[in-house]
Amino acid sequence: MNMKRILGILFSTMLMCGCLTACGQDTAGDATFKIGNSTFGESSETSAAKAEANADSSSVPAVTEKDKGISVMEGDILDLRDLSPTVVYSEVFAMMNEPADYEGKTIIAKGPFAHYDDERTNKQYYAVIVKDATACCAQGIEFVLAGDKKYPDDYPKDGDEVTVTGKFNSYEDVTGKYVQLSDAEILN
């Protein structure tokens, strides 16, 4: 996504989950966040060293049955609704970084609805927001509803919990390569 669109969705998501100052913070106060392949804040070496030091800590979440599978995709359907927040966030991250692996698959996702008006392109973008295990940081999955839908009449309000299903695809415009769910439906 272009940086302006990413920052707009990221900012509105942070406002919804109230994590403008806490997102990605550890107990020492170092903050990190990731946009695309760029990490801002502490280095990955620092993060790896901290993770190794904390590996035997009791604060590490236990692995659940939902976390054990290598792939959560069943055939051509990836249902993210009943997975742990850690697995959902990881799967969405994989979608953004390896979109060819998901092309044409039906994706079902649940989370808060968000929209963004890009004043530069005069387009509107709609997303379902997927939060990480701490419900602090998030990624949005853009979707385009099937049919001739108009905002705001045919869409939920920002922050409303939605379940969205659609066909995963990627597309390019003058600003870069993006992913979305096309021919999408809001199930609730």
Q: For 117-171, how does the pLDDT look when each residue is reduced to its tens digit (9 = 90+)?
A: 999 888 999 999 998 878 777 889 999 999 999 999 999 999 999 999 999 999 9
Residues 102 and 95: their CA atoms lie apart, in Å, by: 7
Which is it for strands 176-186 and 106-118: parallel, antiparallel or unpaired?
unpaired
Q: Which residue has the tokens 């993060």?
A: 47
pLDDT of 7 > 90? The answer is: no
pLDDT tens-digit map of 113-127 = 999 999 988 899 999
Q: What is the CA radius of gyration of the chain?
A: 17
Strands 106-118 and 123-131: antiparallel
Q: What is the pTM of this model?
A: 0.63
Is the Cβ–Cβ distance between 127 and 115 less than 8 Å? yes
Structure tokens at 108: 């079902």
User: What is the mean pLDDT of the segment spanning 16-20?
Assistant: 39
Residue of 136, 151, 138 whose CA lies nearest to 109: 138
Tokens of 136: 């602090």
The arithmetic mean of pLDDT across residues 31-37, rounded, is 37
Residue length of the chain = 188
Q: What gap in Å lies between CA 23 and CA 134, rounded to an integer? A: 9
10 Å Cβ neighbour count for 43?
Answer: 11
Q: How far is CA 17 from CA 27, 112, 114, 121, 181, in A?
A: 19, 10, 12, 27, 23
